[in-house]
Structure 1
Amino acid sequence: MSAAVKKAWGYRYVVLFILWLLYIINYFDRVAVLTFLPFIQKDMNLTPVEVGQIASAFFFAYAIGQITSGFLADKFGPKKVMNVAIITFTLVTVVTGFVKNFGQFIAVRIGLGLGEAHHFPPAAKAISNWFPYSQRGTALSIFNTSNYVGLAIVPIVLTNLSATLFDGQWRPVFYTLAIPGAIGVLLLWLFFKDTPDEMYKKGRVSQEEMDLIRADKGVTMPEATTEKGRNKVYLKDSTFYIICLIMFCQMGILWGFTTWLSTFLVKQHGFNIKEMGYVASLPSVISIVSILLGGWLMDKLGRMKPIALIANLGCIPVLWMIGTVEKGNVPVLLAMLFLSGFFVAFNSGSVTAALQKRYPSEVVGGATGLVNGSGQLGAFLTPLVAGYLVNVGSGGSFDFTNVFMYFSALAGLAAISALFLKEKPIEMAKIVQSSGR
């Protein structure tokens, strides 16, 4: 990295902080249902299969929305798409507090999925617009810590809010989540623009910062390239589909794990609501460090392959062992949850950075949307499959051994896929020539 890149500091970090904060707000809405799932299950008399279907309904809608959100961000700009997303998922979250039956729950989960799907690809595109090529791995990893900060603090905040203000009830908590949503819309309106050029005209971006961003763009799209030619940049690249498969496995593990963790802790290990909130947050605490380390290595090495291999090879034994920990063996359970947080998150920022390092910024929104859509298909299928793998004993006991074996198998598939990655920046001349511009 050049001395200029190391030296320059500027408004792009304000933009990064706003994007980071907005995504934590996103996670309050997303994780609220998963946090209270064992208690919602009891109140609404849901079976494990129905719980899996409720969780997966979100990710099915989310996967579909990811595809459209990337193209919309490329066409209309990140700000407009994120604004609509935040307003939508905030309103749907408030409505969730009023649901009375399984069918209504499925409907609001689909609505939440469609709303939240239009947040991540625009945010990733904004980072591509605002950050020089050589800083994108670190910037995206910092942004992706919002996932794990959200997973770390949301269960604690919401379970304590429920216990202290609402006498253990879950419905009023959803009404209060309108407040952070309104704050998010205000922050986006006041402090964010799609490109540094817009803020430069307002005097918030220095000439030094503009020169830095313009001089270090990475791969660029030749002028007059047709829309068809733009899409071919990644659609005709085998590495793109390998990244899609890795993302499918990684997001399947993350959201399968996150969906069932609170129920696993309450049903199989006997934790109460407050204990569960703190223990469920443990993996995400170490994930914050892990994802930053992975992003730093991505910029240092310039390759995702070694990071993906470390992450997924580490997940295989750790996830397997979590499901076999005996009830009452809290130290071993906590140790395994700690390790799972490290390995599950290690490649999270790098996989998105790999797209931004390989493809031009003009198509990053669409490519990110498709890759993240593949990931959300994994997130859709995994909680659903896990619901069928939970063993319910005659006395009402729960056994999650098969669930965690399934998560471990997904990690093995991701590790094998990573062996076939090619990561040099795409050769634009060949793509443009084959597309006829």
Structure 2
Amino acid sequence: MKKKITVGNKVLFLLCAMYFITYIDRVNIATAAPFMQKDLNLSTTEMGLILSAFAYPYAFLQIFGGWIGDKVGPRKTLTFVGAIWSVATIVTGMVTGMFSAILARVGLGLGEGAAFPTATRAMAQWLPKDKFGYAQGIVHSASRLGNAVAPPLIALLIVAYGWRESFVIMGVISLVWMVVWMWYFRDNPKNHPKMTSEELEKLPRYVTKSEKKKIKVPWKALSKRILPVTFVDFCYGWTLWVYLTWLPSFLFTAYGLDIKSSALFAAGILMSGVIGDTLGGVISDRIYRKTNNLKLARRSLLIVGLSGSFIFLLPTLFVHNLAFIAISMSLAFFFLELCNAVLWAIPMDIAPNHSGTASGMMNTGFGVAGMLSPVAFGFLIAVSGNWQVPFIMSIVLLVAGIIVTLRIDPSKQLEEDTDIPIDPLNPNVKSV
């Protein structure tokens, strides 16, 4: 008998589509940049300012965006921010110069800044606790897939229609997703017309609007618990941004590849992250189900992922062989991405009532790394004239991340002073 797809899995598919689309929308400008620069008569410095404009509002809106998602609910929040990033993407295709292009990218950062923390809140409401890691792995695999397919997809659109039209087409696709989300999703799973009692029994109890008013964000306690996760996310993000921004240039410059070959090698390396993202969440959840030890399930994957990435980045310092380095960097990226789903699952473990706010706090580390890592990497290359030097910084931060991981304990859920009822499915855990 064919197994029926649950409503929760359909919601998860919608979130995968969002992660896929938003990553294309944030990196498509890299492919269009040469055409924009030529048509708008931009200098390299001006183009650099446009490329970096996304990261600042994105980083600073993580906590506030997650808090809004907790308070207002994922349905309205993702509909609203989806409209913002969709319009910003379309407007990018209509820019006339540097300032309008910067404003469009800032708008994209404003829209996408709240997206992932709010999506985390949706997952906390729609999925059982033992599938948190799996869900985060699946959606972030979709984001890495979006990152990998963006260059050829956008290039195809540019060749067929033009660089301006490529932004308009992607913006319209984003608007379609927003409409489908608003139509299909419900904050309270019980209110979905297709929800079954069997599926609903496995989910955490939904907190009503009146109950939400009684729940105040314990900022001090929450910050204390999430800060180590934020630091590890910063260490993870620092190395990830190296891959996302400098990998093609590294292969092009250090190994003398032409632009097509370096892009193909880079795409192959980045695809290993799709596998790592999925496996990290699946393995972590499986360990949790087998042992009922959340600390072991989350910590072990972080330590293995950061350690593996550290080990396989070491050859970049000593070896100059393209095939060997491509394999080594693929393995390093695979291990690095084992951490991603786990990092996003931990805020859900620690603070289910504030999973949007908590995940926003956590992902601020990634946002700050996005502002600093590409600039520092380029600066170290310019000063030293050596591509190996900036990789040392990534290796050092990976080791620091391993050490700080030992302070993370997701098994201890955040205690709150609230009269919200205890979750009847798990008497030891307050309801979400």
TM-score interval (norm. to shorter): 0.7 to 0.9
* Cα gap change, 1:98 to 1:319, in 2 (>3 Å): farther
C-alpha distance in structure 2 between counterparts of 1:112 and 1:306, whole Å: 35
Aligned-pair CA distance for 1:96: 2.8
Give the SS at the match of 1:177. Answer: helix
1:312 aligns to what? 306
Instruction: Report the identity percentage.
Output: 27
- The answer to whether the 8 A contact 2:222-2:414 is kept is no
Q: 2:160 aligns with which of 161, 165, 174?
A: 165
Alignment of 1:23-422 (within 5 A): 23-36=19-32, 44-47=42-45, 53-99=49-95, 102-162=98-158, 164-165=159-160, 170-199=163-192, 202=193, 204-214=194-204, 226-228=214-216, 230-235=218-223, 238-299=224-285, 300-301=287-288, 302=294, 303-322=297-316, 326=320, 329-360=321-352, 362-391=353-382, 399-422=386-409
C-alpha distance in structure 1 between counterparts of 2:334 and 2:372, whole Å: 23
- The answer to whether the 8 A contact 1:35-1:262 is kept is no
C-alpha distance in structure 2 between counterparts of 1:243 and 1:170, whole Å: 39
- The answer to whether the 8 A contact 1:245-1:414 is kept is yes
**Structure 1: tracts of 5 or more residues without a match:** 1-6
Task: Please give the TM-score of this superposition, normalised by the length of structure 2.
Answer: 0.83
C-alpha distance in structure 2 between counterparts of 1:78 and 1:148, whole Å: 22
C-alpha distance in structure 1 between counterparts of 2:256 and 2:105, whole Å: 27
C-alpha distance in structure 2 between counterparts of 1:36 and 1:323, whole Å: 32
* 1:278-310 deviations in Å (ceiling 9; x for gaps): 322223322122122211222114232111111
C-alpha distance in structure 1 between counterparts of 2:284 and 2:21, whole Å: 27
* Cα gap change, 1:39 to 1:406, in 2 (>3 Å): farther
Larger deviation: 123-132 or 285-294?
285-294
* Cα gap change, 1:233 to 1:132, in 2 (>3 Å): farther
2:428 aligns to what? none
Residue type matched to 2:393 in 1?
Answer: Y
Give aligned pairs, total.
406
Aligned-pair CA distance for 1:25: 0.8
Larger deviation: 38-47 or 339-348?
38-47
C-alpha distance in structure 2 between counterparts of 1:62 and 1:150, whole Å: 18
Residue type matched to 2:342 in 1?
Answer: S
- The answer to whether the 8 A contact 1:283-1:340 is kept is no
Provide the alpha-carbon RMSD of the alignment.
3.2
1:3 aligns to what? none
C-alpha distance in structure 1 between counterparts of 2:403 and 2:390, whole Å: 21
* 1:122-157 deviations in Å (ceiling 9; x for gaps): 111000000111221112211221221112211232
